[in-house]
């Protein structure tokens, strides 16, 4: 059986610590990053629910302005903080995990809720872009994960069956979406630590390398 | 034309400050409430997206455990903090706004993402329950707002046209959902302060009394 590995990008391959530092610089309490990011994700999925679409950067910008205003922080710093999304660093084990898949000749792609160009830029910056056969963005289909359309688009474009594809993500909602679309999936637990949804927990791994190890034994 | 006013409950009629205080007591940074609540909302909508349903309290519990674990807080305090959702206090202007609608003989109902029983309990505790013709919960239809089904269920049950119903909510996602279902809506801006979504801003009001004033002039 052929196997394709689909990686989520922000939070999974890349740490958001660079953005957290920028928020901290303007006096934001530690949980501000999560408040903003969760609002962004919920806003994006709200648009998909009402069958509208706007680029991730626009959703993130509007959510950030609200989050800053809510905590009495400087809304004028929005663009600077947003730019942090282009300065994120890859987790240390991203390259080794990808290399291991390449060795085994397993196809590797990325599927991001963010924009395709921004994602290719951060992957390039981290010297990871050439490890991916393709980078897919939800903008290809105009619907955010965990809607089933982005996952289906990837497997259709790659001409594989859903069961031949494994999503690796550090976000429960992404894993649940992939599962609902019939894909195999592994949850990397280092970001959320505890399974955050009241539905069955999937296979979990402590790191990207461990997740890849589960696939190739 | 008949008019029905539909109120969102948590955050709109009730402040979440009681919950924020409980989080603060265990050393949580100020934005922890928003990090948890946004994660809860996104988790709930994720379930709706994959056509599953779990009660709000369960979604909130799982999201809270993750949020506490992420910030190195005591996960063992989960039930205590969760109980805070039953101890929320009504905003000062909730009763005056509801009274004004009663005077005008405008029908008033509630539509909550939370459970029906829990919502009736907090409304009763605040002496507001008798002001509502009915309390609707998304559990009636097994889909969370902003999916269109909860809004459609309300107008169908009340035998009114979508255009005869006005949702009043302090959450942009709720207003956007109601609008997509054809309802009139007013966004109360005191919780989010800046319109947090990159789609057209609706009518906005600074308070519940102001929102009601927009309807009855």
Q: B52-62: per-residue pLDDT in tens?
A: 999 999 999 99
The pLDDT > 70 percentage for chain B reads: 100
Task: Determine, for residues B42 and A47 on separate chains, whether the beta-carbon distance falls below 8 Å.
Answer: no
Burial A183-200 (b: 16+ CB within 10 A, else e): bbbbbbbbbbbbbbbbbe
- Asked if B30 and A29 come within 8 Å (Cβ–Cβ), the reply is yes
Distance from CA of B104 to the nearest CA of A (A): 33
| Domain boundaries of chain B, sorted by first residue | 4-15+88-216, 17-86
Neighboring chain A residues of B32 at a CB cutoff of 8 Å: 31
The long-range contacts involving A39-43, CB below 8 angstroms and separated by at least 24 positions, are: A39/A63, A39/A66, A39/A67, A39/B34, A39/B38, A39/B196, A40/A64, A41/A113, A41/A173, A41/B38, A41/B42, A42/B38, A42/B41, A42/B42, A42/B45, A42/B173, A43/B172, A43/B173, A43/B196, A43/B197
Instruction: Identify the CATH class of B17-86.
Output: mainly alpha
**Chain segment A164-212, per-residue pLDDT in tens:** 999 999 999 999 999 999 999 999 999 999 999 999 999 999 999 999 9
Residue A217 confidence (pLDDT): 73
Q: What is residue B2's predicted lDDT score, i.e. its pLDDT?
A: 82
Chain A residues close to B52, C-beta within 8 Å = 180, 199
Cβ neighbours of residue B115 closer than 8 Å, sequence gap 6 or more = B55, B56, B57, B137, B139
Taking all residues of chain B, what is their mean pLDDT, rounded to a whole number?
Answer: 97
Architecture of the CATH domain B4-15+88-216: 3-Layer(aba) Sandwich (3.40)
Residues B70-114: tens digit of each pLDDT: 999 999 999 999 999 999 999 999 999 999 999 999 999 999 999
Confidence band (pLDDT; 50, 70, 90) for B8? very high
Residue B201: list chain A partners with CB under 8 A: none
pLDDT at A1 over 70: no
**B104-121 pLDDT, tens digit each:** 999 999 999 999 999 999
Query: Pick from B29, B35, B48: which is nearest to A38 by CB?
Result: B35
Q: Taking each helix axis as running N to C, give the angle between helix A32-49 and helix B172-180, from 0 to 180 degrees, rounded to the nearest 10.
A: 0
**pLDDT, tens digit, 9 for 90 and up, residues A118-171:** 999 999 999 999 999 999 999 999 999 999 999 999 999 999 999 999 999 999
Which of A35, A49, A177 is opposite residue B50, by nearest beta carbon? A177
Locate the chain B residue with the closest alpha carbon to A66. B194
Look at residue A31 in the predicted model and tell me its pLDDT.
Answer: 96
Say if the Cβ atoms of B62 and A193 lie within 8 Å: no
Instruction: Judge: A46–B70 Cβ closer than 8 Å, yes or no.
Output: no
> Sign of dihedral through CA atoms A175, A177, A182, A183?
negative
How many H-runs (helices) and E-runs (strands) does chain A carry? 9, 8
- Residues of chain A with Cβ-Cβ distance to B62 below 8 Å are 194-198
Cβ distance B49 to A146 less than 8 Å, yes or no, reads yes
Which of A32, A41, A70 has its CB closest to that of B193? A70
Model pLDDT for residues A26-81, shown as the tens digit of each residue: 999 999 999 999 999 999 999 999 999 999 999 999 999 999 999 999 999 999 99
Residue with tokens 């989520």: A8
C-alpha gyration radius of chain B? 17
Task: Please tell me whether the interface predicted TM-score (ipTM) of this complex is above 0.90.
Answer: yes
Q: How high is the pLDDT of residue B13?
A: 98
CA A186 to chain centre: 13
pLDDT of residue B1: 65
- Check CB contact under 8 Å for B70 and A146: no
Which of B11, B15, B31, B143 should be substituted to probe chain A, the one whose Cβ sees the most A Cβ atoms within 10 Å? Answer: B31
């Amino acid at each position: 059986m052929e196997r394709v590995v689909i990686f989520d990008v922000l939070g999974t391959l890349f740490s958001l610590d660079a953005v957290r530092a920028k928020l901290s610089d303007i006096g934001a309490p530690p949980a501000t990053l999560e408040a903003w990011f969760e609002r962004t994700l919920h806003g994006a999925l709200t648009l998909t629910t009402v069958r509208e679409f706007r680029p991730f950067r626009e959703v993130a910008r509007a959510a950030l302005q609200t989050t800053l205003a809510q905590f009495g922080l400087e809304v004028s710093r929005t663009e600077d903080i947003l730019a942090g999304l282009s300065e994120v660093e890859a987790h240390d084990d991203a390259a080794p995990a990808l290399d291991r898949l390449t060795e085994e000749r397993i196809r590797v792609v990325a599927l991001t809720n963010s924009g395709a160009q921004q994602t290719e830029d951060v992957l390039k910056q981290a010297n990871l872009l050439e490890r991916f056969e393709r980078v897919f963005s939800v903008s290809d289909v105009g619907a955010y994960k965990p809607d089933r359309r982005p996952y289906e688009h990837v497997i259709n474009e790659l001409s594989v069956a859903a069961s031949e594809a494994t999503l690796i993500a550090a976000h429960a909602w992404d894993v649940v979406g992939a599962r609902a679309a019939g894909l195999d999936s592994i949850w990397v637990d280092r970001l959320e630590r505890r399974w955050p949804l009241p539905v069955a927990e999937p296979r979990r791994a402590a790191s990207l390398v461990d997740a890849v190890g589960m696939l190739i034994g």
